[in-house]
Amino acid sequence: MSDSDRPARVLVLVSGSGTLLQAVLEACDDPGYGVEVVAVGADRDQIQGLERARVRGIPTFVERLADHPDRDAWDAAMVAHLDEHRPDLVLSAGFMKILGPAVLAGHRVVNTHPALLPAFPGARAVRDALAHGVRVTGCTLHEVDDGVDTGPIVDQRAVTVRRDDTEDSLHERIKAAEREMLVAALPGVARVHPLDDA
């Protein structure tokens, strides 16, 4: 298999249950999908997202912010992990830490977000959408830059807000749309192989 035909190497970062990761792993069961998850990293121990990777024999790592004197040191440790696995793309899938300039300087990163950016950036997107009374929200796949949910938009899916929605009920429907969007968009986003030119 030539480099141009090989699956794109994707490293996934998670902070919790890993349902987005699971959707990608199931898509990767199809040899024609064109993506290989080469490692899964987290910012905390003993989460379901790491276990989802381990049962499939995928390498994992944990890098806790609290174990470092500052964010720059944590960022450098993250870079070391990413460089070890040489991904074509880093996917932030429910990863609840902001990646620093050292990571972004050396790696392409995309992130999923539970709102239609640029509306409702940040960690309370679903709650904020409900508080503002919007009738439609959704999810976004975007490139990560040095802002908070400000990078170029790759793809979006709309989700209708129901009159009886709670934050939990709305978030569950957004997550379903998010999984579908990510699985559909990821092969195209990851198809560029910067390592092939190295």
Catalytic positions, written as ranges: 113
Strand partners, 142: 111, 153
Angle at 151 between CA 98 and CA 140, to 5 degrees: 90
